[in-house]
Amino acid sequence: MNIQNQITNMRVNRALTSYNDIKSYISMLKNYCNKNSSIDEKDKLYQKHIQDMRSYCRKLPMMLKTNGLLLTMSFVYSRAQNNSEKNNSEEQIINEYKYIFEWIWSWLSELELSTTKYNNIFDMIAEEPINYKIYTEETLDILLWYKKHMELEVEYENN
């Protein structure tokens, strides 16, 4: 397989991965809202979480460009941990930052830039500083796809 085909395959995989992740998040959110909310609260809760995810997907690419991969992922991880420690069960189940962090970690793990298997993204970045720029570019690319797909989903929901 030549280099051009590999690059094209990476782009297609990025788009498909982000699309599938956003679709599974929306499906999970709809199921959660249908099971755990009254009719009046269902739409409000759904719209709140959809708008939150849209907002985070919009902000993170610029945050990554401004602060770098390590600081951005530290921020996302801390937000995912802070929300999961709250007693509110809704916040534990529907934590947008937790999903975003898991999606990015999953994508970077699939890149196979190293033969070592890491337990978390921070170990991977610390042990592989030579690949830091590649990880940053890949994270930015996948975040831009999440942003595009989330924008389209919100637009679709509103129509």
Q: Taking the CA atoms of 98, 53, 21 and 157 in sequence, report the sign of the dihedral they define.
A: positive
CATH number, residue 131: 1.10.520.30
Consecutive 10-residue runs of the chain (159 residues): their mean pLDDT? 74 93 93 80 87 95 95 93 61 82 90 72 78 90 95 84
3-class state of residue 152 by DSSP: helix
Q: What is the DSSP letter of 15?
A: H
Give the count of domains, the chain: 1
pLDDT digits (tens, 9 = 90+) for 62-81: 999 999 999 999 999 999 98
**What local confidence, expressed as pLDDT, does residue 68 receive?**
93
Rounded to an integer, what distance in angstroms lies between the CA atom of residue 54 and that of residue 153? 9
Selection from 82, 70, 78 nearest residue 139 by Cα? 70
Structural contact between residues 149 and 45, judged by C-beta atoms closer than 8 angstroms: no
**What local confidence, expressed as pLDDT, does residue 92 receive?**
57
For residue 126, what are the domain limits?
3-158
Q: Residue 43 burial by CB count (10 A; 0-12/13-18/19+): exposed, middle or buried?
A: exposed
3-class state of residue 41 by DSSP: helix
